[in-house]
């Protein structure tokens, strides 16, 4: 973890903790604002570490990944900084802003369907693509980069009782959880998933990696999946206490609350952690909710937060 932190120093931002002021009856919640990274997502941590560890021969061959946007941006950014060619097998339904950012960072995009991308993630290959695969979650060097988040959290908030992170493939929470549990075994580490895509919560309830049969696409495109890869389950199980499922409406309300209180933009996946913290299932805190990303089309963001919060939520938020 410390080696990874030294490797990515100067390439990523040491993001701040922002304490929400939600009133005396609400949990004590602090936001870890990873949406303030150069690519507006935590993924740049793992990407910078993975690219820094490439051999000279691998650098010449270039890198490639599979992504709905945030991993692709992080790897494209790290590759551009290192002068390495980058290809992204990109999920074609990803927000236009994410696709445009990947192209702007010099990545060559190969658009594919969600199912095709998920198959490629499992097979770790895609026809016609050359170079070194930097897997967007099932990669030790990628995960080690994310572990630096855990170091920062405990340095800035030594008395943190719980940390919550969105679960997609599981790389973020595995990295963060590994760091936190190594330094403070009693701290709680919780995942957060949308009701439309919650294989981790199902896996924890069943005790083994599961396929989420009722998967549906939603605006929470950066988290949740159709299944939990067995190898990621084995990595996750020792360092994560469970996963909290939240509704799309709770997620939308959390996006709005982050904008109102912190004056920053969180995408759907980035707001899952706050939505989970507000359920009360994690206790009164201090709770760190990792805002994992802020890459969302502005028109879509405005549409999602346009409706006013329910009366009880507004009253509690104003304290």
Give the pLDDT confidence of 122-157 residue by residue, as tens digits.
Answer: 899 999 998 999 998 999 999 999 999 999 999 999
pTM: 0.90
Domain chopping of the chain, boundaries: 2-41+140-310, 43-133
Architecture of the domain spanning 2-41+140-310: 3-Layer(aba) Sandwich (3.40)
Task: State the Cα torsion 229-200-29-2 to the nearest 10°.
Answer: -20
User: 43-133: which CATH topology?
Assistant: Rossmann fold (3.40.50)
For strand 29-33 and strand 17-19, is the pairing parallel, antiparallel, or unpaired? antiparallel
pLDDT category at 220 given cuts 50, 70, 90 is very high
Q: In the prediction, which pLDDT does 308 show?
A: 58
Identical fold, 2-41+140-310 and 43-133: yes
Give the pLDDT confidence of 112-129 residue by residue, as tens digits.
Answer: 998 999 899 889 999 999
Number of Cα atoms under 13 Å in the Cβ half of residue 28: 9
Q: In the prediction, which pLDDT does 316 show?
A: 36
Q: Does the pLDDT value for residue 7 go beyond 60?
A: yes
The DSSP secondary-structure symbol of 261 reads H
CA distance 76 to 308: 37
């Amino acid at each position: 973890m410390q080696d990874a932190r030294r490797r990515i120093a100067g390439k990523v931002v040491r993001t701040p903790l922002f304490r929400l002021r939600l009133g005396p009856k609400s949990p004590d919640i602090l936001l870890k604002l990873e949406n303030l990274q150069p690519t507006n997502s935590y993924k740049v941590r793992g990407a910078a570490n993975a690219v820094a560890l490439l051999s000279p021969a691998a650098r010449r061959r270039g890198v490639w990944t599979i992504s709905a946007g945030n991993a692709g941006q992080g790897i494209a950014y790290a590759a551009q900084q290192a002068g390495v060619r980058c290809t992204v097998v990109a999920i074609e339904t990803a927000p236009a802003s994410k696709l445009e950012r990947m192209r702007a960072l010099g990545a060559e995009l190969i658009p594919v369907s969600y199912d095709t991308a998920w198959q490629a993630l499992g097979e770790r290959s895609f026809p016609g693509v050359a170079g070194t695969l930097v897997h967007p979650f099932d990669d030790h060097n990628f995960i080690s980069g994310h572990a630096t988040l855990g170091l920062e959290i405990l340095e800035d908030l030594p008395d943190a009782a719980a940390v919550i992170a969105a679960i997609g493939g599981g790389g973020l929470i595995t990295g963060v959880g590994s760091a936190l549990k190594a330094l403070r075994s009693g701290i709680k580490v919780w995942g957060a998933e949308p009701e439309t895509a919650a294989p981790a919560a199902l896996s924890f309830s069943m005790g083994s990696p599961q396929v989420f049969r009722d998967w549906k696409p939603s605006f929470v495109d950066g988290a949740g999946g159709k299944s939990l890869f067995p190898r990621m389950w084995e990595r996750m199980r020792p360092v994560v206490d469970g996963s909290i499922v939240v509704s799309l409406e709770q997620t939308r309300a959390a996006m709005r609350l982050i904008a109102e209180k912190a004056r920053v933009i969180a995408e759907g996946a980035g707001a899952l952690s706050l939505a989970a913290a507000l359920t009360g299932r994690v206790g009164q805190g201090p709770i760190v909710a990792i805002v994992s990303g802020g890459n969302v089309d502005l028109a879509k963001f405005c549409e999602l937060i346009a409706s006013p919060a329910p009366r009880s939520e507004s009253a509690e938020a104003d304290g």
